[in-house]
Amino acid sequence: MSRNSPPWRRRGGPAKPQAMKSPYDSVFAKGFPSMIYSAEDDHVVYKLTVINLTNTSPFSLTMLR
């Protein structure tokens, strides 16, 4: 793999991602449970936010679109 490959494809890649629980606030609703995963590689920070909408009312989901 070359240095230009994305960090998750590189052998040895970035450090193990850190995970943190956090409420996610949107414009229409507040407090959705979410996980934020982050990792750093070569002075670049990668972040991914995963929002759990499994127990959310259909009305709230419509407002998120």
Identify the CA nearest to 37 among candidates 51, 50, 53, 24. Answer: 50
| Domain range for 58 | 18-64
43-62, pLDDT tens digit by residue?
Answer: 888 999 998 888 777 766 66
Would you say residue 38 lies in a domain? yes
Residue 27 pLDDT: 80
Would you say residue 1 lies in a domain? no
Would you say residue 6 lies in a domain? no
Structural domain total, the chain: 1
Would you say residue 45 lies in a domain? yes
Would you say residue 10 lies in a domain? no
Would you say residue 13 lies in a domain? no
pTM above 0.75, yes or no: no
